[in-house]
Amino acid sequence: MNKLFFIVAMVLISFGCKTNETSPEKEKPKKINDFAIIIHGGAGTILKKNMSDEKEAAYIAKLEEAIKTGHTILKNGGTSTEAVKKTIQVMEESPLFNAGKGAVFTHEETNELDASFMDGETLNAGAVAGVTNVKSPIELAIKIMTDSDHVMLSGKGASIFAKEKGLDMVDPSYFYTERRFQSLQRIKNRNKTELDSNDKNAAFYDADIKNSKFGTVGCVALDKDGNIAAGTSTGGMTNKRWGRIGDAPIIGSGTYANNLTCGVSSTGWGEYFIRNQVAYDISAQMEYQQKTLKEATSDVIQNKLTKLGGTGGVVALDKNGNMSFEFNTAGMYRASMNDKSELIVKIYKE
């Protein structure tokens, strides 16, 4: 009897091995781009009816300038780190975006800047929060990653570090723009006085308040060596108080990069992105649930974030060069370029 059981067991084992040998392997996703880059300039209530032709043209031109800057670096064999830094700096130096030169104002009428960066090859990262006199917050975030033992620095300490490392320092007045200052005044006035529902300015005020949380810039790049980098830079929320910090400088919320999966940069209502760990969640779904980039970004933004009440979006780029714009707002300033130099620039929801 024991001999019979042994024979049957050996037959079953042999059959199982043959089955495994002959079963087809799951087809691996193919690389569609040797290098690629994707950016955002903020998400929110961005409607065609509220946008002048001149302003729309200005945004499109600056998005093109920014992404072509990074694309040229990648095309010439440069690193994803350099591409992300230079691309974001173009937007930081433009008053059109809520980052760097165009940063929004705090309740105390100052500009407090945040940024973060992550290297998908090493999983090293750097971040900065609440600086007021560093010209390029994204450059500082990268410098924190490469030249310190820390991931995040804030306030005066971060400024001291930046000065010691030779970064460009500016007077806080450099970040002043009349447009952002007046936005703060409108929100302050709205908080003081309840507008009559028939007030002709009510819709304008409402749009200001809704968009006080948006405008962050970000970039994700894949270089020819297969390395992914992601970065995010922002002025935060208009009228923010008490040293409020949003998701942009928080690794896993506003920024995440991993060569095994993807890179992500977020923009939106920061508190919800922090609670959802939006950027990391997208990568985790790809790694542990084998989801595609599109499946992961859609689930996180359209399902998980939306159900919690959060608004905003992400740009993401995976290890095979697939790209995704995902947002649950009326619009998001965005652009992408692949290794064939195909350019996409969009503002409104399709």
Q: What is the pLDDT of residue 320?
A: 98
Bridge partners of residue 231, in order along the sequence:
117, 219
Q: What is the pLDDT of residue 190?
A: 82
Residue pointed to by tokens 């939106």: 268
Structure tokens at 316: 């993401």
> Taking the chain (350 residues) in consecutive chunks of 10 residues, what is each chunk's mean pLDDT?
50 46 56 96 90 95 98 98 98 96 95 98 98 98 98 98 98 96 90 53 44 78 98 95 95 98 96 96 98 98 96 97 97 97 94
Measure the CA–CA gap between 265 and 66, rounded to whole angstroms.
15
Catalytic residue numbers, as ranges: 216
Q: Which residues are CB-neighbours of 77 under 8 A, at least 6 positions away?
A: 223, 224
Pick the closest to residue 134 from 111, 162, 92 (CA basis): 162
Q: What is the pLDDT of residue 3?
A: 53
Give me the torsion for CA of 338, 59, 130, 71, rounded to 10°: 20
Contact 73, 66 (CB under 8 A): no
Topology of the domain covering 36-348 = Glutamine Phosphoribosylpyrophosphate, subunit 1, domain 1 (3.60.20)
Pick the closest to residue 177 from 98, 94, 102, 100 (CA basis): 102
